[in-house]
Amino acid sequence: MPNQLSSAWADTNTAAAALGISPRQLRKLRKEGLLKLGKHYRVTTSAVASKPRYRWHCDRCGAALEIPMEKR
């Protein structure tokens, strides 16, 4: 994982690149519950949108990824 992660909220592609993973892996971590709404990501589309869009907090997501698998 890169040493420099932005503390700003980033779109899915930018956050995934900063974390050194694919956008698909990032969405999978959200779906599996490792990344939490409000802490690691937020929804930026309206409730009636057909596909949700997310913004990711790169520092917090990076910290979550550093937790050993057996402690997640």
Total residue count of the chain as it appears in this document: 72
Sequence letter at residue 27: R
**What tokens does 6 get?**
């932005």
The closest of 22, 23, 17, 20 to 54, measured between CA atoms, is 23
pLDDT at 20 over 60: yes
Distance (Å, rounded) from C-alpha 34 to C-alpha 49? 24
The residue among 29 and 4 whose pLDDT is bigger is 29
Domains of the chain: 9-71 (1.10.1660)
Residues 2 and 33: their CA atoms lie apart, in Å, by 23
pLDDT at 7: 54
| pLDDT tens-digit readout, 29-70 | 999 999 999 999 999 998 888 999 999 999 999 999 999 888
Query: What is the average pLDDT across 10-39?
Result: 97
The predicted structure's pLDDT at residue 4: 53
